[in-house]
């Protein structure tokens, strides 16, 4: 059984997902509450992050520079590899922060996928199987959120 709860640490809400008897803490929430620039900088240097961003861009960005992405992906994971968000956007013609382009429903699903991916990694599932399962979850959740007439539609940049 999966339960989602949260804790408040020094005014910062951190999401915790409990699956059976194991707790998984949202790294995204933790990054927001800490030295965000350092955490994100390290995250952007991770090979798995680069691969994830590349897959997302391939799906949603017809102008994505796949050749440059291949070069970056090959360099990722080395001790000397450094990549800023700005360089990623400039080199690959990426959309940029996917959260800036997302609807509120997509943001909810993305947050859920990040947590579920952590669980799947903990279970030792290979990347191909994780991507398959995450894709199924994303489709199911998006259909649920966008197809339910009882859920009030929200605009994530609305000020009300």
The share of the chain scoring above pLDDT 90, in percent, equals 2
pLDDT single digits (tens) 56-92:
888 888 888 988 888 888 887 676 677 777 777 888 8
Please state the domain extents for the chain: 1-34, 37-98, 102-153
d(CA 31, CA 55): 23
pLDDT single digits (tens) 96-112:
665 666 777 888 888 88
pTM, rounded to two decimals: 0.41
Report residue 2 as tokens: 């999966």
Average pLDDT over residues 35-52: 68
Q: How far is CA 39 from CA 2, 18, 32, 43, 103, in A?
A: 27, 24, 9, 6, 25
Q: Residue 80 has what pLDDT? A: 65
Average pLDDT over residues 34-54: 69
């Amino acid at each position: 059984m999966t339960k989602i709860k949260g804790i408040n640490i020094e005014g910062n809400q951190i999401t915790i997902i409990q699956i059976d008897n194991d707790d998984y803490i949202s790294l995204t929430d933790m990054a927001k509450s800490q030295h965000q620039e350092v955490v994100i900088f390290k995250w952007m240097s991770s090979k798995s992050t680069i691969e994830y961003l590349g897959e997302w861009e391939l799906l949603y960005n017809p102008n994505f520079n796949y050749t440059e992405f291949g070069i970056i992906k090959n360099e990722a994971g080395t001790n000397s590899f450094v990549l800023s968000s700005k360089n990623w956007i400039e080199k690959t013609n990426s959309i940029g922060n996917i959260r800036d382009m997302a609807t509120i429903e997509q943001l909810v699903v993305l947050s859920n996928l990040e947590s579920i991916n952590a669980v799947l990694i903990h279970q030792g599932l290979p990347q191909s199987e994780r991507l398959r399962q995450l894709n199924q979850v994303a489709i199911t959740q998006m259909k649920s959120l966008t197809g339910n007439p009882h859920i009030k539609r929200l605009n994530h940049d609305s000020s009300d």
